[in-house]
Structure 1
Amino acid sequence: MKLLLNEQRAELLANGKANNTLRESGLAEQDFNPVVKLFCPWGAATWLLTELDPEDEDIAFGLCDLGMGFPELGNVSLREIESVTGPGGLRIERDMHFTANKSLEAYAKEARLHQRIVA
């Protein structure tokens, strides 16, 4: 399965460019709704991604939860996520039914309370 659809990649990149412009102008970044949810079908790892780095499209930003009770906002390498192979050749998957209903910060606040991403 392809981790990102072309439309999702374009939206993630547009969000990254928008926040890069805001940062360079000394303004507060926008708190986007997640564009895509990735998950580990054999474990508890989950990622809610909002943007791609316009200078390195391998680097995504979002809420990352490796299933250890400490979800955090940060950067992650898409190549690294794509390289993970689990039992029986399973791979990280994109939640095809995910639709964000709140901002990334709202998901992060809820995740800190529950010690995991609830999405």
Structure 2
Amino acid sequence: MRRVLAMNPGIPGVGGARRRRASPLALVSVLAAAVVCVLPCWAAAQPEQVNEFVPIDELPEEDRLPAAPFLISAYAIVWILAFGYFWLLSRRQADVERDLAELARRRPVPDDDDPLEAA
């Protein structure tokens, strides 16, 4: 039986086509993607768990979080957002009142008590 090779350079391994080497950029990008996929696993590793209650006075200074700055900043953010929302509502209400006043100026409402007679 005879072997016949096609002379088509588009198909690898057929017809004398050369095998291409992977470029260094491709290798670096594959390596970077692998590191990016593995990093969350390393970051998610849990620290050693404490099995008993430790009073806050016995904790090291770097493990203590002062509550007052967090509480004050949280309240400040909430109040700033609330006042911003109230200011936005007052501006919108003023725009609506201005539009209603302009409509009333363009078309006056009849003073009759019976709305059917006005039509």
Q: For this structure pair, what is the TM-score category when the shorter chain's length is used for normalisation?
A: under 0.3
Greater share of helix: 2
Greater share of strand: 1
User: Which one has more relative contact order, counting CA pairs under 8 Å at least 6 apart?
Assistant: 1
